[in-house]
């Protein structure tokens, strides 16, 4: 039986990304401003991060729907 359109998309994070498991709280810079968030999904060289909402980042939250993709090199654990 054929399985059209079904792909096994297992993503293996890079060595640098192995310390940023999902649910890890991280900090990083966006447009020169410090931000914090929680890793929700790991990719090869980056992670999907759900931003922490603050009074200072309201416009960023609206523009990004509260989610950003951040390179592992740009993140630090909080």
Asked if residue 72 lies in contact with residue 46, where contact means CB atoms within 8 angstroms, the answer is yes
- Quote the number of domains for the chain: 1
pTM for the whole structure = 0.85
Domain of residue 64: give its range: 21-77
Angle, alpha carbons 25-70-58 (nearest 5°): 75
pLDDT in tens, 20-46: 999 999 999 998 999 999 999 999 999
Q: If pLDDT is split at 50, 70 and 90, which confidence band does 3 have?
A: low
Q: If pLDDT is split at 50, 70 and 90, which confidence band does 11 have?
A: confident
Residue 73 DSSP symbol? G
Report the CATH number that the domain containing residue 59 is assigned in CATH.
2.30.30
Is the residue at 61 inside a domain? Answer: yes
Residues in the chain: 78
Is the residue at 15 inside a domain? Answer: no
């Amino acid at each position: 039986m054929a399985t059209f359109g079904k792909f096994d998309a297992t993503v293996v994070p890079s060595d640098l990304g192995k310390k940023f498991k999902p649910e890890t709280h991280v900090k990083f810079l966006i447009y020169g401003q410090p931000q914090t968030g929680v890793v929700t999904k790991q990719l090869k060289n980056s992670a999907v991060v759900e931003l922490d909402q603050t009074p200072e980042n309201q416009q960023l939250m609206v523009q990004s729907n509260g989610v950003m993709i951040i390179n592992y090199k740009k993140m630090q654990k909080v």
